[in-house]
Amino acid sequence: MSPRTWQIRDLLKVSSDYLKDKGIENARLNAEVLLAHQLRLERVGLYLNFDQPLTETELSSYRFLIKRRIDHEPLQYITGTQEFWSLSFAVDRRVLIPRPETEIIVEQAIVLADSYKGEDQPLKILDLGTGCGAIAIALAKELPDASVWATDISEEALGLARRNALKHGVRDRVSFWQGDLWEPLMEGAHRFDMIVSNPPYVSTEEYNELPLEVRDYEPRQALDGRDGGMYYLEKIVEGAHDFLNPDGWIILEMAPWQTQKTLDIIARTGEYQQETRIKDYSRRYRVVMARSL
């Protein structure tokens, strides 16, 4: 008996049901994305070729992708891409997967950039903990006259960020530096008009309760904010003033319940003004901003 011939139509139905039975949310979407990735098609191309049969090689490779997803490997790591700010970023286990709520940092930075128009010096922005480079690269694309610096403790993450910067044509305008927090800036009198960051802010206490896709695959050092999740947020607030120009801004992402704590830290330093917090698309406080004195 010859082996069954699988068409796209039937394979999507069977694989969607299988993923759903294994507890994968949005099973149909996952099945479509993985099959489109395997066949090097856009998702709409699956429906334009609904009756197309798969070769044995294609079928075997698709089964392997499905197995990876059932093991809770994030879809973005399997396909190697994630969209952020309408740009496609290469991602893998070296870096955190960019989230939609992080786009709020980019939005706020662009709004603030308007107030710097007409200045003699180009706007200078620092992205602390850049990961795959999503924030830094998005800002470099949107603010072509700005000078963008990006740091990360992981040289492996920076390798991927440089690749993404090259892909999006901003490699010559984003400077990448390796080191923890302020370490790369200690030599020289570096000052910035904005310091933006999506730092680790998951508390160590809640780390083991994270979804398997996050806990078992995304880099812990990009997530774990230590006791209470506030370690890096506090370090950034307390240290940023030394690297900000007068009237410069910090823009920080965090968990909703951390926003008031961060505002309290900002007030305690006595080095900022106009502190505020911004809600995300789910109407929860997500970003804290403040202006240096």
pLDDT in tens, 52-73: 999 999 999 999 999 999 999 9
Q: Which residue in this structure is represented by tokens 């206490």?
A: 205
Candidates 255, 193, 247, 191; CA nearest to 223 is 255
| Distance, CA of 148 to CA of 142 (rounded, Å) | 11
What is the per-residue burial (b if ≥16 Cβ within 10 Å, else e) of 71-97?
Answer: ebbbbbbbeeebebbeeebbbbebbbb
Single-letter amino acid, residue 287: V
pLDDT at 118: 63
E strand or H helix at 171, and its extent?
A: none
Contacts of 267 (CB under 8 A, 6+ apart): 275
Looking at domain 81-292, its CATH superfamily turns out to be Vaccinia Virus protein VP39 (3.40.50.150)
Q: Locate the domains of the chain by residue range.
A: 8-71, 81-292
CB–CB of 290/249 below 8 Å? yes
pLDDT at 1: 45
pLDDT at 102: 97
Tell me: the pLDDT tens digits for 193-241? 999 999 999 999 999 999 999 999 999 999 999 989 999 999 999 999 9
pLDDT at 3: 66
pLDDT at 188: 75
Residues with pLDDT less than 50, the chain? 1
Q: What is the pTM of this model?
A: 0.92
Cα distances (Å, whole numbers) of residue 188 to 41, 156, 157, 180, 245: 49, 25, 24, 16, 14
pLDDT at 2: 53
